[in-house]
Amino acid sequence: MKYKVYVDGQEGTTGLLINDRLKIRDDIELLKIDPEKRKDTNTRKNFLNKADIVFLCLPDAAAKESVAMVTNEHTKIIDASTAHRTNPDWAYGLPELGKEYREAIKASKRISVPGCHATGFNVAVHPLTKEGILAKDYPVTAHSITGYSGGGKNLIAKYEETDTDSTALKSPNFYSLGLNHKHLPEMQKVSGLTSPPLFTPVVSNFYKGMLVAVPLLKSYMKKPLSAKEVQAFLANYYMGEPFIEVIPYDSSSYLFEGFLNSVQCNDSNKLQLFVFGNDEQTLVVSRFDNLGKGSSGAAIQNMNLLLGKEEWLGL
Tell me which residues are annotated as active site: 116
How far is Cα of residue 55 from the mean position of the Cα atoms in its chain? 15
Q: Report whether 61 contacts 19 (CB < 8 A).
A: no
Cβ atoms < 10 Å from Cβ of 50: 13
Q: What is the DSSP string of 135-175?
A: -TT---EEEEEEEGGGGHHHHHHHHH-TT---HHHHS-EE-
Given a contact cutoff of 8 angstroms between Cβ atoms, the answer to whether 251 and 228 are in contact is: no
Torsion sign across C-alpha atoms 108, 114, 119, 124 = negative
Query: What size, in residues, is the chain?
Result: 315
Give the relative orientation of helices 116-130 and 184-191 as an angle to the nearest 10 degrees.
20
- 301 by DSSP, 3-state: which? helix
